[in-house]
A and B are shown apart, each in its own frame.
Chain A
Amino acid sequence: MRYSALAQLNKPYDYPNEDGHFGPYGGRFVAETLMAPIEELTAAYETAMADKTFLDELDHELKHYVGRPSPLYFAARWSEMVGGAKIYLKREDLNHTGAHKINNTVGQALLARRMGKKRVIAETGAGQHGVATATVAARFGMECIVYMGEEDIQRQAINVFRMKLLGATVVPVTAGSKTLKDALNEALRDWVTNVDDTFYIIGTVAGPHPYPAMVRDFQAIIGREAKQQILEHEGRLPDAVMACVGGGSNALGLFYPFIEDEQVEIIGVEAAGHGLATGEHAAPLCAGKAGVLHGNRTYLMEDTGGQIIPTHSISAGLDYPGVGPELSWLKDTGRAQFVSATDDEALAAFHNLTQVEGIIPALESSHALAYAAKQAAKMDKDQILVVNLSGRGDKDIHTVAELEGITL
């Protein structure tokens, strides 16, 4: 099935097309005022990616500031506990600021500087992208405004304080469901108002073209390194690569360099919340329909009238009703499979990894770990799974403690 699926895709894999479409997905569905700035951004981005000076600068920052390459770690004890395939973890949790998000914010901040923009804005859910944006804004001396849903501000108090320490202004968003999607709306409203001097650093592989492609390209360092590292460790490619999917930036970052490797299975894990059957989840690819939101056509959580519906996940970073358009395309063409893990399954994986490997994973990444454990158990001992450990779990210990009735 994987072979015929790949046959539907262009070879070489060269999506998106010049209008930013991945098959029927992606595109530019924005207010007219934003069309000029996104065209300007597209041109600047394309020029930068063909400019050796820019790429050298980016490499330098990734190496000396972010701390790349991140290790590809063989989780021997956890693999043994699970009983099956060898599981390797791509340690994005070891990056500066503790997650993969900074790969992208470094890239976009360098681009903003090149374009002469002195003010950057961002949306954030769990606060990881907000922290990563505030960090690079401090690093490059830019003004930084972060929009964050009021409910997320309550859930992620530590990250809010981190952003403030870094000099960012955190603006609470009280509209709608007061979560990530509303923060994105508010950031778009800021951009439309302050379009001349402002660069909008989107944190995931969604939004109007060129964001889905640009964020993917900045995150693809994850998959490029993982590929080289697994070849060093094992002398062959893995049987499957796996990552959690909220908006999809850590997933696509790992998947993208493997798309043309037909023998590598690609699996994205969405947040099933209380279970797909309850409707309280954040799994648009598993249980949603196509629609248009936040500048792109993609799978969404929506009602029959096209209104966006509230999502639920234990992890704020996965609590988003949409997903990157390229993942929608990889789903429809069959090149990637999308599955889900519930809050409880993610929590169990969180504890297991912590106890047998001494690594506290983010609750987001714990969804990928939960499914990886299930999958690995069905595989042979000589098979190989690579899982993206997209972030560290320190930010989540309050959530976990509270769920378990522990007062810190």
Chain B
Amino acid sequence: MSRIKQRFAELTQQGRKALIPYLTAGDPEPAFTVPLMHAMVEAGADILELGVPFSDPMAEGPVIQHAMERALEHHVSLQDVINMVKTFRETDTDTPVLLMGYLNPIEVTGYEKFVTQAVEAGIDGVLLVDLPPEEATELKGFAKGKLDTVFLVSPTTTEKRTEKIARASSGFVYYVSLKGVTGAGHLDTEQVINKVEEIKRHTDLPVGVGFGIKDASTAQQISRVADAVIVGSALVKLVEANQSSQDDAILAVSELITSMRKGMDADSTSSAA
């Protein structure tokens, strides 16, 4: 059983929802990343989403764009990110790690080599923003049974495509809650409920929701309707604001995750009671 699947099974048993924080690897400099990953787990993260810097992140808002630019100033490559996970795994063998990014760094590495290296480093899944299932057949072939492939469903996705995407996904399905880039807009919970239901009609996989979740209250709202809550830009903003001190960055990020965790758990405990 994959680490991601295992983690969702445990959470279901406990009647809790998954909290998935995102960070850009190498932001603001490579030394921050592994300590931040451990701190996120400590503060209540269930799965980590680690962004691979790319020069042309076409689906990101300014917050994550700038994070990727900061990492690229330090020439952080896909290889470096894989090595960071290897280091993380020296002291944490339980928490699933999902790589998020754009296809080109993987394309130039070669799909087979990438899967081998990722699995060897202890990476559990991959989510590529610019790789819809139609173009993913080859990568999926190499990843099958070794690396989960998480695909995205968006508000514009037709039900026919939702079915196709659900079939192509493993680990979980990622629902992008709004039309726009990361860090944008406001949540429409009603719309999220409908779409999550639609996805669940086509798969038994857990459904995670990301985009627009920025505090304990939005995390709580989403945890009522989805299996996982994904938080990105709100955390990256805190790293940006505290880039001169690793300790301050860890403190700020941990605080937000802890408050989200509390919001989500209070809700699940009370509804279970």
Contacts and interface: CB of A to CB of B under 8 A. Distances in A.
Q: Main SS of chain B's interface residues?
A: loop
Given A28-B135, A32-B165, A193 B179 contact: yes
Interface string A279-312: 0000000000111111101001010111111000
Interface residues of A, number: 41
B63 to A, nearest CB: 12
Contacts of B107: 290-292, 297, 306
B121 interface: no
Given A31-B58, A195-B179, A292 B156 contact: no
Interface string B19-56: 00000000000000000000000000000000001111
Interface stretch (B8-16, B124-132, B234-242): B124-132
* A30, A31, A36, A37: most-surrounded residue (chain B CB, <10 A): A31
Contact of A292 (B53, B55, B130, B154): B130
Contacts of A289: 108
B59 interface: yes
B108 A192 contact: no
A293 B129 contact: no
Contact of B72 (A189, A291, A302, A307): A307
Nearest to B59: A31
Given A31-B152, A32-B165, A305-B78, A193 B180 contact: yes
Contacts of A30: 130, 132
A293 B107 CA distance: 11
A333 interface: no
A294 B106 CA distance: 15
A80 B23 CA distance: 63
Contacts of B161: 35-36
12 contacts: A31-B59, A32-B151, A33-B176, A34-B156, A36-B157, A175-B65, A185-B56, A188-B59, A189-B60, A305-B75, A306-B104, A306-B108
Interface of A: 19, 27-37, 175-176, 181-182, 184-185, 188-189, 192-196, 289-295, 297, 300, 302, 304-309
Closest 3 interchain pairs by CB?
Answer: A306-B105, A306-B108, A305-B77
